[in-house]
């Protein structure tokens, strides 16, 4: 019927969005942002037992300028917050952020003067990964979820439409199990 039927063997059709997504997700270069306990688990994921290299992500770079994923692993203190933002700003677009562990996600058990209550106060976060610290398997799961997100990210006008739609959906969703009054 369409062009698909006329294709020789070994050729597949897809969208530009999917190709770009595939390229972006298949070789992510994380910028380590190891802060506390979670950083050790993150390093364990890089080790032979869990082997992050299976997902093309073993190049844990130190330079933010050659990275597209920031894994905020650990509690972010008020003193560290400006440093974190500076590193994030130095990363080129497109970039993603995983908030690893409850401290990075929400402040966790440290609800006090010293700790930023969630790294989303400073940088936009794509994946919140709970756990204290999350198991390496959980980290791998977060990575896979992020890959899925990256793969299916739309481009250009579609992206703008996607953002508008998500925003509306979030505004309209009926959430509370608990209400204020």
103 labelled binding-site residue: yes
Stretch that binds other proteins, among 7-15, 91-99, 131-139, 162-170 (CB under 8 A): 131-139
Crossing angle for the helix pair 37-46 and 136-151, to the nearest 10 degrees: 70
Answer for which of 6, 12, 14, 113 binds other proteins (CB under 8 A) is 113
Exposure of 1 in the CB half-sphere (CA atoms within 13 A): 0
For 60, residues 6+ apart whose C-beta sits below 8 A from its C-beta are: 30, 31, 32, 46
27, exposed or middle or buried, with CB in 10 Å at 0-12, 13-18, 19+?
Answer: exposed
Residue 174 interacts with other proteins (CB under 8 A)? no
Q: Supply the minimum distance, in Å, between the C-beta of residue 113 and other proteins.
A: 3
Q: What radius of gyration, in Å, describes the C-alpha atoms of the chain?
A: 19
Q: Of 10, 11, 79, 156, which lies in the binding site for other proteins, with binding defined by CB under 8 A?
A: 79
The answer to whether 37 is a known ligand-binding residue is yes
Interaction of residue 13 with other proteins, rule CB under 8 A: no
Which is nearer to other proteins, 21 or 107 (by Cβ)?
107
> Site mask, other proteins, residues 24-43, x = CB under 8 A?
--------xxxxxx-xxx-x
- The torsion angles phi and psi of 70, rounded to 5 degrees, stand at -110, 125
Q: How far is CA 55 from CA 26, 133, 181, in A?
A: 7, 21, 47
- DSSP-assigned beta bridge partners for residue 100: 73, 129
Work out whether 21 is an interface residue with other proteins (CB under 8 A).
no
Identity of the residue, 28 or 31, whose beta carbon is nearer to other proteins in the bound complex: 31
53 lies in the binding site for other proteins (CB under 8 A): no
What are the residues facing 33 on neighbouring strands?
Answer: 72
Q: Report whether 95 belongs to an annotated binding site.
A: no
| Distance from C-alpha of 168 to C-alpha of 139, rounded to nearest angstrom | 30
Q: How near is the Cβ of 112 to other proteins at its closest, in Å?
A: 4
Q: Which residues bind other proteins (CB under 8 A)?
A: 32-37, 39-41, 43-44, 46-49, 60, 62, 74-75, 77-80, 83-84, 87, 106, 109-115, 117, 132-133, 135, 175-180
Binding-site sequence positions for [4Fe-4S] cluster: 37-38, 103, 132
């Amino acid at each position: 019927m369409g062009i698909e039927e006329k294709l020789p063997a070994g050729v597949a059709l897809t969208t530009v969005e999917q190709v770009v997504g595939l390229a972006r997700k298949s070789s992510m270069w994380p910028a380590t942002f190891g802060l506390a306990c979670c950083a050790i688990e993150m390093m364990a994921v890089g080790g032979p037992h869990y082997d992050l290299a299976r997902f093309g992500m073993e190049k844990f770079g130190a330079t933010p300028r050659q990275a597209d994923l920031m894994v905020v692993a650990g509690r972010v203190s008020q003193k560290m917050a400006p440093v974190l933002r500076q590193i994030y700003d130095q990363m080129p677009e497109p970039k993603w952020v995983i908030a690893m562990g409850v401290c990075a996600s929400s402040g966790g058990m440290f609800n006090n003067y010293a700790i930023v209550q969630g790294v989303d106060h400073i940088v936009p976060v794509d994946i919140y990964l709970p756990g204290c610290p999350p198991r390496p398997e959980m980290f791998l799961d977060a990575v896979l979820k992020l890959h899925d997100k990256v793969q299916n990210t739309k481009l250009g006008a579609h992206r703008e439409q996607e953002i508008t739609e998500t925003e509306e959906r979030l505004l309209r969703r009926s959430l509370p199990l608990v209400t204020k009054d």
